[in-house]
A = this chain, B = another copy of it.
Amino acid sequence: MNTTEEPRYIKVHPADNVAIIVNKGGLPAGAHFSCGLELKEHVPQGHKAALIDLAQNQAIIRYGEVIGYAVRPIPKGSWIEESLVDMPEPPALDDLPLGNKVPPALPPLTGYTFEGYRNPNGTVATRNLLGISTSVQCVAGVVDYAVKKIKAELLPQYPNVDDVVALTHNYGCGVAIRAPEAAVPIRTLRNLAIHPNFGGEVMIVGLGCEKLIPERLLPPGAAKTDILMLQDQQGFGGMVQAILNMAEARLIKLNQRHRITCSVAELTVGLQCGGSDAFSGVTANPAVGYAADLLVRAGATVMFSEVTEVRDAVHLLTPRVADEKTGQALIREMKYYDRYLSLGEVDRSANTAPGNKKGGLANIVEKALGSIAKSGSSPIVEVLAPGEKPAKRGLIYAATPASDFICGTLQLASGMHVQVFTTGRGTPYGLAMAPVIKVSTRDALTEQWPDLIDINTGPIATGKATIEEAGWEIFRFILEVASGRKKTWADHWGLHNDLCLFNPAPVT
């Protein structure tokens, strides 16, 4: 506990009757704030202190919203530990106002570009990757073996190609391929196969007897020769050689590509949080929200996601949808997930992890209010079902589970070029298909993990930086990373998590 520092708390909204403790290690009973508040007991860092005497059942207000009700009287200066907070019901979905407070468009932001690759279909890429798609998990071992060989023997001859990425996964066979929900993983794999960072080169490895017929992953215009079936090959040796041959033909083409100046409007940025704490909603997420506004002002596409972290704050989002159709799509995705969870006999409160609670987040309502700060203040112009590709530019709600790996995989399927990932507790997360920029919510994590955290927003909590400054820093860093001029720490170490498909259908 650092008692030499002046006691500090953060109150987010004028109506709040609680505030979170900023000081590293928390503050002891008796700690005295300049406003006159005195703590009745020790309050850990990131946890809430009562700013007033709360009566039993009185609403506890943070972000100007009800995050719960006091289970018993809580005197001013007490620690509002999670067990003292009764969780409110989630907003009912049937009578929400849709698009009644669409924010005015922010002024356009010009003069910013990045260096990307131009794809044959007009899209741009932030990486020049050879992507090897797979139709079924059976081929993963052979593909992994071949990719090692490609990296060792072929890639060094093609220096303009950044990397070779095997899109291995757990789907394709041993699954109920005709279940209604199978549409989700199949759409995801189709869209992953044509990710812009693969430069329009298609390569699919299948087995031959699987349920997911590899042709279903072929984009329009691709040829049957873009598919390799292992059951057609002569032994393991034949399989590996055939994969190497297909790969080399594509490496030759990819190697001819060079970065050119591209408009920021062509960029698609995904936003996510993982290992959140109570600072997430006051430092990193609002800073990312500011960067999201800058990106939208520059014409880019920005996706935020994580249904269970939006569900309890959806009443703050429906007023922001650009039109009623978009609003209904947002409601549809919330209802879809309510039903999905209820089939498994849980609800959205299953989202919060022990680390969230240790970090000061009492429940999913408080977590959601902090999570949606990532979305900034733009109108929501489109809502995507899991793994769909956007048709518009601007701020988009891409519905996904909150699981870091599933959300990342689905945002990649939606065409994400760069992901911005905020974390309070800390996670060494990374993706092979697109760079992940890790933004820390607090100084202590950044100091502890200097070789994993890319950007620190901790100084916002102590007033040493503003949300605006951190937002600009994130915006500029996105463009540096998109241009290949800066490397994220995850890419530096090669920390790349496997794809993880969202398969709401049964396995067989």
Contact = CB atoms under 8 A, between A and B. Distances in A.
B402 A207 contact: no
A353 to B, nearest CB: 5
A6 B235 CA distance: 28
21 contacts: A137-B404, A141-B493, A141-B497, A170-B170, A176-B350, A179-B346, A180-B345, A181-B344, A207-B275, A207-B425, A211-B353, A213-B354, A231-B355, A231-B425, A235-B448, A235-B450, A236-B489, A343-B343, A344-B505, A350-B508, A401-B508
B211 A354 contact: yes
A235 B493 contact: no
Interface string A442-482: 00000011111000000000000000000000000000000
A190 to B, nearest CB: 18
Interface string A196-212: 00000000000111110
B138 A209 contact: no
Given A137-B404, A173-B404, 17 more contacts: A137-B405, A137-B498, A141-B430, A141-B493, A170-B498, A174-B404, A175-B350, A178-B350, A179-B346, A180-B344, A207-B425, A207-B427, A209-B275, A211-B353, A236-B428, A236-B489, A403-B507
A258 B429 CA distance: 39
A402 B508 contact: yes
B139 A235 contact: no
Q: Which of A210, A448, A497 has the most CB of B within 10 A?
A: A497
Interface in A158-203: 168, 170, 173-181
Contacts of A426: 207-209, 230-231
Interface in A117-151: 137-142, 145
A142 B344 CA distance: 31
A344 B179 contact: yes
A344 B507 CA distance: 9
Contacts of A354: 209-211, 213
A425 B396 CA distance: 44
Contact of A350 (B138, B449, B506): B506
A340 interface: yes
B137 A497 contact: yes
A408 B181 CA distance: 25
Interface in A93-110: none
A312 to B, nearest CB: 13
A490 interface: yes
B451 A141 contact: no
A57 interface: no
Q: Which of A181, A235, A450, A490 has the most CB of B within 10 A?
A: A235
Given A210-B355, A275-B209, A498-B140, A449 B173 contact: no
A502 interface: yes
Shortest Cβ-Cβ A-B pairs, 8 listed: A209-B355, A174-B403, A344-B506, A141-B495, A209-B425, A176-B350, A176-B346, A235-B451
A345 B428 CA distance: 38
Nearest to A359: B209
Contacts of A208: 355, 425-426
Task: Report copies per complex.
Answer: 2
A47 to B, nearest CB: 15
A145 B493 CA distance: 8
Interface residues of A, number: 81
Interface of A: 137-142, 145, 168, 170, 173-181, 207-211, 213, 230-231, 234-237, 239, 274-275, 308, 340-341, 343-346, 348, 350-351, 353-356, 358-359, 401-406, 425-430, 448-452, 489-490, 493-498, 500, 502, 504-508
Nearest to A141: B495
Q: Which of A168, A234, A356 has the most CB of B within 10 A?
A: A234
A136 B92 CA distance: 33
A506 B344 CA distance: 6
B507 A406 contact: yes
Contacts of A181: 344-345
Contacts of A489: 236
A353 B209 contact: yes
Contact of A341 (B359, B402, B506): B506
Given A235-B450, A343-B343, A500-B170, A209 B140 contact: no
Contact of A173 (B231, B348, B353, B508): B353
Nearest to A405: B137
A89 to B, nearest CB: 18
Contacts of A207: 275, 355, 425-427
Nearest to A143: B428
Nearest to A492: B236
A487 B181 CA distance: 41
A138 B274 contact: yes
